[in-house]
Structure 1
Amino acid sequence: MANTLLRTFGLVGAVAIIPAVGTAFAAVDVETYKQLDEFMSVFERVRSEYVEKVDDKTLMRGAIDGMLASLDPHSSYLDERGFRNLMTTTDGNYGGLGLTVTLEDGAVKVIAATEDTPAAKAGIKAGDYLTHLDGKLIYGGTLDEAVEQMRGKPGTPVKVTVVRPGRDKPFDVTMNRAIIELPAVKWEVKQNVGVINVNSFNKTTTDHVKAAMIGIDKANGGKPLGYILDMRSNPGGLLDQAVSLSDLFLERGEIVSQRGRGKGDIERYYAQPGDAANGLPVIVLVDSGSASAAEIVAGALQDHRRGLVMGERTFGKGSVQTLLPLGNETALRLTTARYYTPSGKSVQEGGITPDLEIPQLSDPDYKARPRFREADLRRHLINEIKVEDDVIQDDGKPDPRFAATAEELKKKGVEDFQLKYALDTIARLGSRQAAVAVNVPKPAGAAPSGTR
């Protein structure tokens, strides 16, 4: 993606791409014609009487952008540049700093900094506001304008001024622009556990997870104790990849359903027989930056009790955007449905609540840093069922499991407390599963162990 910021894709989460087809227009009543006449009157007045001459294309683009912006934060018009950017992102590589952002009251606000990108290495965090680029104010402009200013030759530096809640003064961070070839999936073996880091849902994600599981078996010299599916700060991506990834770990049942405007406008996606993990324990790691497609996977595995979800409550984006081509190089990205987990729960606004909430204690300012979610976006879709946080009885005593400070953990060599906790949990679950397998009674007449 040629952009430094991901305006058109950062919060997409679940995208359905369909071919261009003939469009059926809804009937237009008399009142609508009156409104169209009024629009044309405004259009003519502006183009003839505005203090400066404005070309018709600019006015029409502004009208389209304004119409879609009045709907929800995820519907938008993609011009030639935006359309190419989206296609490039789903292919798995883009140029820039590695930020997922949105625009809030004229300010560029960070949703997440993708792992191993210039932004993440420079310490940019969720909730940060970007106010200046190379000393030039970007507050009050559009996100596209900020993107244009961040573009540049790979390797060249850009100075970003950051306002971070909890700090008294803004501070500057200098990063080098880069062509980011972001792998959708990375993997490693830790403590006999397969750790699969899913960064995004592009068209190769599921295939790469399959390859990762094979690689883990080879590197481990056999099956691991279990798998950790790390989807923290994963902004989402393609809907079909969320479905196929969930299917890897499920034998049967519904994965997700999407429901449109009409009562009968429901599409359901089901798992096919076959669990690629062979029943081994699975932990899904999520945080406030895990959105939409990541939430589909977490919700499916949680509802089917196939995976234990750990970390923080997710972003809460429960809508599907359909890409409707308007020509060869432009498209309309329109919110056309809400999606629901197998239990019938919409994650819109509320997100996925972990089975076990684990604070990121290795982050020294995790308590002070604000979490930014779908419910904070203006004009976000409202969940039909009121979202209320569960009331949990609190005795006021600190949880001894989460009493360590970042400094204490660092001395012990723990750089990622959430991952460490998940690894220890898998070790307990895997050992227990292995013990049960050893103690299973053999059928009558079975040969003793080791007999050939």
Structure 2
Amino acid sequence: MMKKIRLVLLVVLMFLVVNTYIIGVEVQGEELPADSPLRDFQEILYLINYYHVDEMDLEKTINGAIEGMVDSLDPFSEYLSPEEYKEMQIEFEGEFGGIGIVVNPDLTIVSPIKGTPGDRADLRPEDSIIAIDGRSTEDMTQQKAVNLMRGEPGTTVDLTIERKDLEQPIEVHIVRELIEIPYVETKMIGDDIAYIFIAEFVKDVGQKVNEAVKEFEAQGARALILDLRSDPGGLFTEAVDVASSFISSGKVVSIKQRFTEDDIYGVNTSFRHTDLPLVVLINEGSASASEIVAGAIQDYQRGIIMGKTSFGKGTVQSIFPMENGSALKMTTGRYYTPDGRFIHEAGIQPDQEVDFDREYDGDNQLDAAVEYIEETYLNNNFKKAG
């Protein structure tokens, strides 16, 4: 289908350049039927080119047509200009100037990244960004908004935020910083409990988690906490690898696509898995790859899921780079947990719900996980995680 669309556009451009009437153009050797929407597209492009009061900006018109096509699909599909695609790639390098938040296509916040200006400014999951530096975000693309929020460290950006429990929008003034994301953080809590926090599922996160698990076991850890709170997701394959550190065998996730049989992804058998007692922390900002891991662990009853219901993103996007440096990000599948659950919009329900207490001196959700492990597996006196 992509080849067909690109060929149609190429044919249209060729005919426009030589001022030739384009109705009835053949595509892949066959003339378009009279009722074909592509024929309508050709006719409208011709009429605009020859009869609009102003000379047509061909590139602008074609880009508008492409964006319109993609916008009609679903909220997570989008056309990225060369500049927008380059900006998106910067994030995966792990270092950029900005405020450190992850947003949805509708510009609601999925999660602030731990320790960043957005986190310190108390931006929260499900906050809606309605203006950036006084500029309305209505009809603004996700990547355009991200580009506006990024900038040189030390510069400022003002966000206008709508929050569910507030009647009026709030203004948030934030100073940009160099965002260096430590994607995996590990530590021991006391002598017995290992702790792993994943900020985002980028390249090699699965390998780093597996190495950390092996080190913790060598140190004599007796239980483990996997913290996926405010982790917006990332690379699908890394989610499979992370789950493989905790599940011995079987299916991790399956993907249903339009024209192919289900893709079933099993555990990475090259990874050593641990049998240590496990608690997984999630919240409203845990999405996509985070939910793949939490869903698999929950389905296999491999550990306890604790916290708040996760975000609920059960679709898979693929990137199709174009020759001119632009790219199409498009939803190409839906994923299902090992038990066949489709969690889109529903999220992963925790086995034990624990609200985050902003007035608590510390991290009450993490302390609840430690207390559960102490009482259930270690029979020790509970000590605050600190």
**Which residue of 287, 290, 296 maps to 1:294?**
290
Distance 1:162 1:348, change over 3 A: closer
Once residues 212 and 55 of structure 2 are traced to their aligned partners in structure 1, the CA distance between those partners, rounded to angstroms, is: 57
Query: Matched residue of 2:328: which SS?
Result: strand
* Partner Cα separation in structure 1 for residue 270 and residue 374 of structure 2: 24
Percent identity over the alignment?
A: 33
> Matched residues in 1 for 2:149 and 2:50: separation?
34
2:318 alignment partner in structure 1: 322
Structure 1 residue 46: deviation in Å?
3.9
- Give a deviation string over 1:258-277, Cα, whole Å, max 9, x none: 12114x51211112457746
Deviations 1:98-146 (CA, angstroms, capped at 9, x unpaired): 1222354xxx432221111111111111222333333444445444443
Structure 1 counterpart of 2:236, one-letter code: L
Q: 2:199 is matched with which residue?
A: 199
Return closer, same or farther for 1:69/1:138 CA change in 2, 3 Å cut-off. closer
Conserved 8 A contact 2:110-2:311? no
Q: SS of the counterpart of 1:189?
A: strand
1:425 alignment partner, one of 363, 372, 379:
372
Per-residue displacement from partner, 1:2-30 (whole Å, max 9, x unpaired)? xxxxxxxxxxxxxxxxxxxx958899895
- In structure 2, runs of 5+ residues without a counterpart are 6-26, 381-386
Q: Secondary structure at the match of 2:222?
A: coil
Asked if residue 55 in structure 1 is aligned to residue 57 in structure 2, the reply is yes
- Output one character per residue of 1:180-222: Cα deviation in whole Å (capped at 9) or x when no partner: 111211122223311111111100211221343355467xxx2
Secondary structure of 1:173's match? strand
- The answer to whether structure 1 residue 190 and structure 2 residue 189 are counterparts is yes
Q: Relative CO higher for 1 or 2, CA cutoff 8 Å, sep ≥ 6?
A: 1
Is it true that 1:240 corresponds to 2:237 in the alignment?
Answer: yes
Are 1:133 and 2:132 counterparts? yes
Write the letter of the residue equivalent to 2:108.
Answer: K
Q: Deviations over 1:262-297 (max 9, x none)?
A: 4x5121111245774631111111112211111111
Which deviates more from structure 2 when the two are superposed, residues 188-197 or residues 326-335? 326-335
Q: Is contact 1:316–1:349 with CA below 8 Å preserved after alignment?
A: yes
**Partner residue of 1:378?**
none
Measured in 2, the distance between the counterparts of 1:172 and 1:132 equals 9
2:122 corresponds to which residue? 123
SS in 2 for 1:249: coil
Gaps of 5+ in 1: 1-21, 364-405, 434-452
The answer to whether 1:85 aligns with 2:87 is yes
Match of 2:43 among 28, 41, 44: 41
Paired with 1:51 and 1:225, the residues of 2 have a C-alpha distance of 75
SS at match of 2:148: helix
Question: What TM-score do the two structures reach when normalised by structure 1?
Answer: 0.71
**Does the C-alpha gap of structure 1 residues 23 and 157 become closer, same or farther in structure 2, counting only changes over 3 Å?**
same
**1:235, 1:291 within 8 Å by CA — same for their partners in 2?**
yes
Question: 2:241 touches 2:268 (CA, 8 Å); kept in 1?
Answer: no
Summarize the alignment of residues 34-433 of structure 1 with structure 2, pairs less than 5 Å apart.
34-47=36-49, 54-104=56-106, 108-191=107-190, 192-213=192-213, 216=216, 222-262=219-259, 265-273=261-269, 276=272, 278-327=274-323, 329-360=325-356, 362-363=357-358, 406=359, 410=360, 413=361, 415-431=362-378
- Aligned partners of 1:165, 1:335: CA distance in 2, in Å? 28
Number of aligned residue pairs: 356
- Residue 117 of structure 2 contacts residue 177 of structure 2 at CA under 8 Å; is this kept in 1? yes
Cα gap change, 1:260/1:140 in structure 2, threshold over 3 Å: closer, same or farther? Answer: closer
Is the contact between residue 291 and residue 315 of structure 1 (CA under 8 Å) also seen in structure 2?
A: yes
CA distance, structure 1, for counterparts of residue 131 and residue 199 of structure 2 = 28
CA contact (8 A) 1:258 1:339 kept: yes
Separation of aligned partners in 1, 2:225 and 2:204 = 19
Could you say if the C-alpha distance between residues 103 and 54 of structure 1 is closer, same or farther in structure 2, counting changes exceeding 3 Å? Answer: farther
Query: Is residue 98–residue 152 contact of structure 2 (8 Å, CA) maintained in 1?
Result: no
Q: Is the 8 A contact 1:90 1:201 kept in 2?
A: no
- Alpha-carbon separation, structure 2, partners of 1:331 and 1:34: 26
Q: Do the aligned partners of residues 421 and 32 (structure 1) sit closer, same or farther apart at CA in structure 2, a change above 3 Å counting?
A: farther
Cα distance change on mapping 1:285 and 1:50 into 2, 3 Å: farther
Partner of 2:11: none
CA shift at 1:51, angstroms? 6.5
Cα separation, 2, equivalents of 1:201 and 1:49: 51
